[in-house]
């Protein structure tokens, strides 16, 4: 996704995160359970939260079966929140009101450029 489609999807994700997920499941921020108030600046967090939100929509919507919410809690909410809030996870080093940008690990080129003859 990109352009207007991405912006709309991101806006819906943000609304859900700020008005459903965090008020109900956010829990207190500690050094062993960090959260970044600028979560949207962490690509891993956006990807995981997007998946969590999509699963929530599929498993709790009007067409979901009666066990959908329980499945969402067990199979999606717990693992994703544990991953995000892990002390070495995407919010490591962030503190309330203090975002710390992360640098991705270096990657060697898969195919080195051809040598000049």
Residue 13, pLDDT > 80, answer yes
Task: Bin 109: left if φ > 0, else alpha if -120 < ψ < 50, else beta.
Answer: beta
| pLDDT given at position 114 | 73
| Chain-centroid distance, C-alpha 30 | 18
Q: How far apart are CA 67 and CA 1, in angstroms?
A: 31
| pLDDT given at position 92 | 94
Nearest Cα to 55, choosing from 20, 11, 91? 20
pTM over 0.95: no
SS3 state of residue 95: strand
């Amino acid at each position: 996704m990109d352009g207007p489609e991405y912006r709309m999807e991101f806006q819906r994700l943000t609304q859900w995160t700020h008005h459903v997920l965090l008020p109900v499941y956010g829990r207190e921020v500690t050094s062993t359970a960090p959260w970044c108030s600028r979560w949207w600046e962490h690509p891993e967090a956006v990807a995981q939260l997007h998946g969590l939100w999509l699963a929530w929509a599929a498993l709790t919507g009007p067409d979901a079966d009666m066990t959908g919410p329980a499945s969402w809690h067990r199979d999606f909410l717990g693992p994703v929140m544990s991953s995000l809030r892990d002390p070495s996870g995407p919010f490591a080093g962030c503190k309330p009101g203090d975002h710390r940008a992360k640098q991705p690990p270096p990657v060697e080129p898969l195919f080195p450029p051809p040598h000049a003859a």
